């Protein structure tokens, strides 16, 4: 049985005040212990978040990392610096990083490896653009992104990853993939993983991301191959985020 994971990506949003409200609301929300919950605020809030969440079941994620362990990389943050804040998860390959910061598959791979080496859980984001979907390239694009990473890792390393399928056309647009569209891609990813290693296919958590909200979460999360959600906009609203966590449990 795969335990669902709900992860809230704040992007470059939020504040210390929102962090305080979110951690208080989450701690009084009685979220089922059968759901894992992670919040992913901006770098500047991580140290405070780590302290606020200490002793709670809510875990902490970062939005990206630099692949090197240390050095002259002004403005960047390494995996070990993230760990010091209490971070356990890190997004890698989010479509905004791929598009706005030119992170290609190789840049994604080195970040996944750096995260794994430091004991962090990478949440590998993959997904096609609208043009790619309309050109019938979903399988080529999505499995290409998955393969570049998974084929370069050992089985043990692969087993420590989470994958988030995020169709680019659904991120921040209010346009959600239908549960059937999302399930189809999740099943395709799982079947590829199972071909590589049946235990990997069975055990890997596959999250859906792209305009998941309180009112569509239950339908998406009820699909057999959707094991949770990566939530953007709705993760900034404590009540909505908690409603999604409840829908997963």
209 is in an annotated binding site: no
Q: In this chain, which stretch among 115-123, 134-142, 153-161, 229-237 interacts with ligand PEP, using CB under 6 A?
A: 229-237
Q: List, in sequence order, every beta strand (DSSP E) within 10-96.
A: 36-40, 59-62, 89-92
232 is in an annotated binding site: yes
- 16-27 vs 46-53: helix crossing angle, rounded to 10: 20
Sign of CA dihedral 166, 170, 171, 175: negative
172 binds ligand PEP (CB under 6 A): yes
CB 232 within 8 A of CB 189: no
Identity of the residue, 67 or 232, whose beta carbon is nearer to ligand PEP in the bound complex: 232
Residue whose Cβ sits closest to ligand PEP: 232
Cα 121 to Cα 81: distance, rounded to the nearest angstrom: 15
CB 124 within 8 A of CB 147: no
Q: Which of 217, 221, 222 is nearest to 240 (CA)?
A: 217
* Cα 127 to chain centroid, rounded: 12
Identity of the residue, 126 or 171, whose beta carbon is nearer to ligand PEP in the bound complex: 171
Q: Is 166 a catalytic residue?
A: yes
Q: In this chain, which stretch among 44-52, 148-156, 177-185, 205-213 interacts with ligand PEP, using CB under 6 A?
A: 205-213
172 is in an annotated binding site: yes
In this structure, what token pair is assigned to residue 4? 């669902």
Identity of the residue, 80 or 88, whose beta carbon is nearer to ligand PEP in the bound complex: 88
Q: Is 94 a catalytic residue?
A: yes
Which of 233, 240, 242, 248 binds ligand PEP (CB under 6 A)? It is 233
Interface ranges with ligand PEP (CB under 6 A): 9, 166, 171-172, 209-212, 230-234
Catalytically annotated residues: 94, 166
């Amino acid at each position: 049985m795969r335990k669902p994971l709900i992860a809230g990506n704040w992007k470059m949003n939020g504040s210390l005040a929102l962090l305080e409200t979110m951690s208080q609301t989450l701690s009084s929300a009685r979220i089922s212990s059968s759901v894992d919950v992670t919040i992913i605020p901006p770098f500047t809030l991580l140290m405070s978040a780590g302290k606020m969440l200490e002793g709670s079941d809510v875990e902490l994620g970062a939005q990206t990392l630099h692949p090197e362990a240390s050095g002259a990389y002004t403005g960047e943050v390494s995996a070990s610096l993230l760990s010091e804040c209490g971070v356990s998860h890190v997004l890698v390959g989010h479509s905004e990083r791929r598009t706005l910061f030119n992170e290609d598959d190789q840049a994604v791979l080195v970040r996944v490896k750096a995260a794994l080496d430091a004991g962090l859980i990478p949440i590998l984001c993959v997904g096609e653009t609208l043009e790619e979907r309309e050109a019938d390239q979903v399988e080529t694009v999505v499995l290409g992104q998955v393969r570049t990473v998974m084929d370069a890792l050992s089985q043990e390393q692969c087993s420590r990853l989470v994958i988030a399928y995020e169709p680019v056309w659904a991120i921040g647009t209010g346009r959600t993939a239908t549960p059937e569209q999302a399930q189809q891609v999740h099943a395709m990813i799982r079947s590829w993983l199972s071909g590589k290693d049946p235990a990997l296919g069975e055990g890997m958590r596959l999250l859906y991301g792209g305009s998941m909200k309180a009112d569509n979460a239950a339908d998406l999360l009820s699909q057999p191959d959707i094991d949770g959600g990566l939530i953007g906009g709705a993760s900034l609203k404590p009540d909505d985020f908690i409603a999604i966590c409840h829908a997963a449990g």
